[in-house]
Amino acid sequence: MALVSARPPLGRALLRLFSVQASYNYERLLGVGVGVAEEPLLRDLDTNDTGDTGRYRAAVARGAHFFNAHPYLIGLAVGAAARAEHDGVPPEQVERLRAALCGPLGSLGDRLVWAGWLPLLSALTIVGVALGAGWVAVAAFLLIYNTGHVALRWWALQAGWAHGARVGAALHHPFFPRAGAVLGPAMACAVGLALPLGAEFLTDPFETWARGALAATAAAGFIALRVRGSVRLNGLQLGLGLVAGALAIGWLWP
């Protein structure tokens, strides 16, 4: 069995994780980016074994196979697969490990980040801007959000490397259910607060009758989306139609 590097180059792998989404393609989705991020952790495979000079190339090729998951948690698969390669896990088991991680990492990341952390902070930023915080609220959003997602990426990479093929233990960390239980209600409250404050902030320059017209238009749009009938109307079509109507009215208004 191969000897595991005492100080794996996790820093280099982390930096490469930031470019994973730029590697997206329809054949392997995020697989190429995952392979690029995993490569620094595989460089000493051949040096740990005598006479087996093909392990590095084979492991890098496996790392670039099809893969898809949430980009902030994808480091868990990168670290786990690299550690499994060092531990001498058979190639077919490494492939099964990667395939098994796609669904859980995607679902967990979507629930925590796209449906929790990001809309929560976005709504709080809207509240801050509406209450007069201005660019301070925007700067706070950028600082807090990026600190959170970088920390999540780093934890995922370290946890994947530490657990290897037994990475399922990391997914059962008590932080995740607790975070999910808090982020969901917090996001709902923040969005509920942001909607009226944001609407008031955006319509403040308008006269009273114009505010009423905007409210009536929003209500009509909501009803149209809920009661579509035979017309298949979606939010994008409605939004583009309202923008076109507003431009036409602004052009024709005396």
Contacts of 229 (CB under 8 A, 6+ apart): none
What pTM was estimated for this model as a whole?
0.83
Look at residue 254 in the predicted model and tell me its pLDDT.
66
Between 186 and 239, name the one with better pLDDT: 186
Q: Positive or negative, the Cα torsion across 161, 164, 168, 173?
A: negative
**What torsion, rounded to 10 degrees, do the Cα atoms 22, 27, 31, 36 define?**
-60
Whether residue 206 has pLDDT greater than 50 = yes
In the chain, pLDDT over 90 holds for what percent of residues? 67
Look at residue 92 in the predicted model and tell me its pLDDT.
95
Look at residue 219 in the predicted model and tell me its pLDDT.
86
Dump pLDDT digits (tens) for 146-177. Answer: 999 999 999 999 999 999 999 988 988 889 99
Whether residue 106 has pLDDT greater than 60 = yes
Residue 155: both structure tokens together: 């934890």
Look at residue 229 in the predicted model and tell me its pLDDT.
62
Residue 66 DSSP label: S
* Arithmetic mean of pLDDT over the chain: 89
Residue 147: both structure tokens together: 């600190």
**Which sequence spans correspond to the domains of the chain?**
10-189, 206-252
Whether residue 115 has pLDDT greater than 80 = yes
Dump pLDDT digits (tens) for 57-74. Answer: 999 999 999 999 999 999
Between 99 and 52, name the one with better pLDDT: 99
What does the buried/exposed string (b/e) look like for 47-66 if buried means 16 or more CB atoms within 10 Å of the residue's CB? eebeeeeebbeebbebbbee
Dump pLDDT digits (tens) for 232-251. Answer: 778 788 888 888 888 888 88
Look at residue 1 in the predicted model and tell me its pLDDT.
46
Average pLDDT over residues 123-129: 97
Average pLDDT over residues 128-135: 95
Look at residue 218 in the predicted model and tell me its pLDDT.
83
In the chain, pLDDT over 70 holds for what percent of residues? 93
Q: pLDDT tier at 217 (50, 70, 90 boundaries)? A: confident
Average pLDDT over residues 1-26: 83
Look at residue 6 in the predicted model and tell me its pLDDT.
57
> Which of 178, 205, 197 minimizes the C-alpha distance to 137?
197
Q: Is 181 helix (H, G, I), strand (E, B) or coil?
A: helix
